[in-house]
Amino acid sequence: MNKIKLIVTDLDNTLLRRDKTISDYTVDVLRRVRRRGILLAFATARDYRFVTEHLTPLFAITPDVIISDNGALARLDGEDIYKQLIPMHTANALLPQFSLVRCVSTENAYYLSSAYADGHWSLGKQSTRITDFQNGVPDDVLYLDGNLGKIASIITEDYPEIRAVSYSDTNSVTMVHREASKLNALKAVQRALHLTSSEFAAFGDDYSDIEMLSYCGHRIAMSNAIDEVKAAANDICGDCDEDGVAQWLEKNLL
């Protein structure tokens, strides 16, 4: 096995269990891996605040890299190295197209529909602002998430500067800048760290992880991943509820 210098892992249904928690065993393995000098990156569809205001305090590990907001933002040791924003005027033109807006992420705030205020969308985020989105948002946007139905493809034709991200387990769709992706953000990380893709080990489970996995030398799909992710992988680890990522890391790196 080529020497692994960076582990990049999706969060929901990958590193995190289905109930959005993480086990003490997984935390211990991550700490041991980092003591070996291997860098750790989280790559998530969620906003940056979910990691910094919820996960980091939860298990007291700050990753070296956070790729967040469906790849619209990447930070290395807390410094921006990649950012793709939807202009405010475009975002506010898009908002009325949604039959339901669930949440909007900007650099300054996380806007959340009141219908989801008590769900996992608001976990630990101090900067959450509950809104009905009737007055739009006052900042450029990292992503907009909600229900669009079949018109998603039509909207992206009207706004070529954006793209739609879909999920296997929900009817919602996320709109991001057309250059925002976990892969593009990871390439920015690669340039900053002067590493090769063969030195990356990536874990994922859903559509937005496929490009990222396909690029890395070590491509590990969760056993609970969709078939398309498994097809892009060169290895499969255990289920997210059974500490699949940690088990693979312990077996192969420790």
Q: Pick the residue with more confidence: 168 or 45?
A: 45
Model confidence band, residue 151 (pLDDT cutoffs 50, 70, 90): low
In angstroms, rounded to a whole number, what is the distance separating the alpha carbons of residues 223 and 211? Answer: 18
Q: Which of 12-26, 103-117, 146-160 shows the lowest per-residue confidence on average (mean pLDDT)? A: 146-160
Q: Pick the residue with more confidence: 151 or 184?
A: 184
Q: Pick from 198, 202, 191: which is nearest to 40 by CA?
A: 202
Query: What pLDDT sits at residue 190?
Result: 97
In angstroms, rounded to a whole number, what is the distance separating the alpha carbons of residues 206 and 229? Answer: 6
Residue 65 has pLDDT above 90, yes or no: yes
Residue 152 has pLDDT above 70, yes or no: no
Residue 127 has pLDDT above 80, yes or no: no
Query: What pLDDT sits at residue 54?
Result: 86
Query: What pLDDT sits at residue 59?
Result: 81
**124: region left, alpha or beta (phi > 0 left; psi from -120 to 50 alpha):** left
pLDDT (tens digit per residue) in 27-42 = 999 999 999 999 999 9
User: What percent of the chain is modeled with pLDDT above 90?
Assistant: 76
Residue 254 CA to chain centroid, in angstroms? 26
Residue 117 has pLDDT above 90, yes or no: no
Domains and CATH numbers, the chain: 6-83+181-253 (3.40.50.1000), 88-177 (3.30.1240.10)
pLDDT (tens digit per residue) in 175-226 = 999 999 999 999 999 999 999 999 999 999 999 999 999 999 999 999 999 9
In angstroms, rounded to a whole number, what is the distance separating the alpha carbons of residues 108 and 138? Answer: 10
Q: Where are the alpha helices (DSSP H) in the chain?
A: 24-35, 48-49, 56-59, 88-94, 152-158, 182-193, 210-215, 227-232, 244-253
8 Å CB contact between 237 and 221: yes
Query: What pLDDT sits at residue 204?
Result: 97
Amino acid occupying residue 66? I
